[in-house]
Amino acid sequence: MSDKTKKRVVIAGMGFGGLRAANVLAGSNLELLMVDRNNYHLFQPLLYQVATAGLEEEAIAYPLRGLTRNWKNASFLLAEISGIDLSGKILQTDAGNISYDYLIIAAGSRTNFFGMESVEANAFDLKRLDQAEDLRNHILMMFERASRETNRLLRKALLTFVIVGGGPTGVEFAGALRELIVYVLSKDHPGISADETRIILIEAGDSLLNAMPVELREYACGKLRSMGVDVMLDSQVVGATVESVELKDGKNISTYTLLWAAGVAAAKIAGNIHDVVRGAGGRLLVQPDLTINGHPEIFVVGDMACCLVDGMPLPMMAPVATQQGGYAARAILARESGMGLPPFHYVDKGVMATIGRSSAVAAAAGFRIRGYFAWLAWLLLHLYYLIGFRNRLVVMMNWTYSYWFQERQVRLITAKKRRAVSI
């Protein structure tokens, strides 16, 4: 039962921003209610490793009720959020209406297909655990089917993998997939040579990892190409079918596997919130203190928030969400104490991306690192931010095993129902 003497803070979405806000508010004299459509927090930066058979699904997820049982005045509700009644201070869900005194909107983002319905219908994306498992099943099944295919052109299409988007997700997935093919799948299938496969990374801009310094972008591109990834810059996808990808210049690539990692937009709930100003990607425009104009009790954090700095929105990245979630929680506590906080200020702690075995790029605090030491820093940082000792231990053991034995243990086809492939 709700304690009516306590003010209620509702956190809508338990991604990086929501989780950080909950950690700050836990143990306070406020009633804390966390709402999410999943009963776990997902460490999205490692989803691509689930898709490439490197990690089990459970290793990058942590049950939210495992957190709330240790926090005073905190509870969790599994529900799908459908909208918000701003004037009535009501969060609308499929489990009923929820009243709030403060609301932190941290519902995250969805994949942005830029209105291309054919691409959305035929591409994989990586935002959820089930999508990662589906993609892993599909990749493994492509090798199973190619191993018995006698038609040369069809076999080539089955073994062609197209990735769209040259950001961290696309780069990391391309490198991990290439290593999976070279070190594992080509050995599992003696009739398929690694040289027979083709991984194509397509980027609309003139370089990969645009947030990185130029020399690190060039290093990442060169490293991927040396691994056997076909990097296509200044190329744009305009359509797709089950068996092909269409480029803007009129070329078609025969493939049964398309991963879309070319952009994100605010979660669909943003479109169900009326009388608010929106920015690019449907994000909600926020004030310097991360509140919605006219509603000081509502904070928006993470990918849902369009927070302008020098006229430009902050990037949709986990570090931004984490810092904003912490700020929103501290602002609520300060307000309840009769105090205030200065406007939110994002501290850029740098960016990094792994390319493959013993290779990564990182830029932070004026330092630019590449190769083995950047890769080691990437490993340690991701282990640090994982939730739960078990998850850290499992991930570390998987990475150690994969590094020394060049093996992937999670290459299981776990579902018989798969995306239609007319062959």
pLDDT digits (tens, 9 = 90+) for 297-329: 999 999 999 999 988 999 999 999 999 999 999
Q: Can you point out the beta strands (E) in 79-194?
A: 81-85, 90-93, 96-99, 102-105, 109-111, 160-164
- Examine domains 8-37+79-111+265-336 and 117-262 and report if their fold is the same: yes
Cα dihedral angle (173, 178, 184, 189), rounded to 10 degrees? 120
DSSP string for residues in 253-304: EE-SEEEE-S-EEE-GGGGG--S--B-GGGPEE--TTSEETTEEEEEE-GGG
Range 8-37+79-111+265-336 classified under CATH 1.10.760.10: no
Residue 172 annotated in active site: yes
Report helix angle 389-405 to 372-385, nearest 10.
150
* Long-range pairs of 191-194 with CB within 8 A, sequence gap ≥ 24: 191/147, 192/143, 192/146, 192/147, 192/159, 194/228
d(CA 372, CA 356) in angstroms, rounded, equals 10
Residue 172, CA distances (Å) to 49, 96, 357, 361, 375 in order: 9, 40, 11, 11, 12
User: Which pLDDT score, from 0 to 100, does residue 366 have?
Assistant: 82
Phi, psi of 222 (to 5 degrees): -65, -40
User: Which pLDDT score, from 0 to 100, does residue 272 have?
Assistant: 86
Tokens of 17: 């921003």
The greatest distance separating any two alpha carbons of the chain, rounded to the nearest whole angstrom, comes to 74
Q: What is the DSSP letter of 32?
A: E
Average of per-residue pLDDT values in the chain: 93
User: Which pLDDT score, from 0 to 100, does residue 72 have?
Assistant: 86
228-252 mean pLDDT: 97
From the list 343, 306, 300, 346, the residue with the least C-alpha distance to 323 is 346
Confidence of residue 410 (pLDDT cuts 50, 70, 90): confident
User: Which pLDDT score, from 0 to 100, does residue 20 have?
Assistant: 96
From the list 36, 25, 44, the residue with the least C-alpha distance to 64 is 36
Query: Which tens digits make up the pLDDT trace of 23-47?
Result: 999 989 999 999 999 999 999 999 9
d(CA 30, CA 78) in angstroms, rounded, equals 20
**Residue ranges per structural domain of the chain:** 8-37+79-111+265-336, 117-262
Query: Which tens digits make up the pLDDT trace of 93-127?
Result: 999 999 999 999 999 999 999 999 999 999 999 99
Catalytic residue among 31, 56, 172, 203: 172
Range 117-262 classified under CATH 3.50.50.100: yes
d(CA 325, CA 302) in angstroms, rounded, equals 7
Amino acid at 131: Q
Q: Compute the chain's Rg from CA coordinates.
A: 22
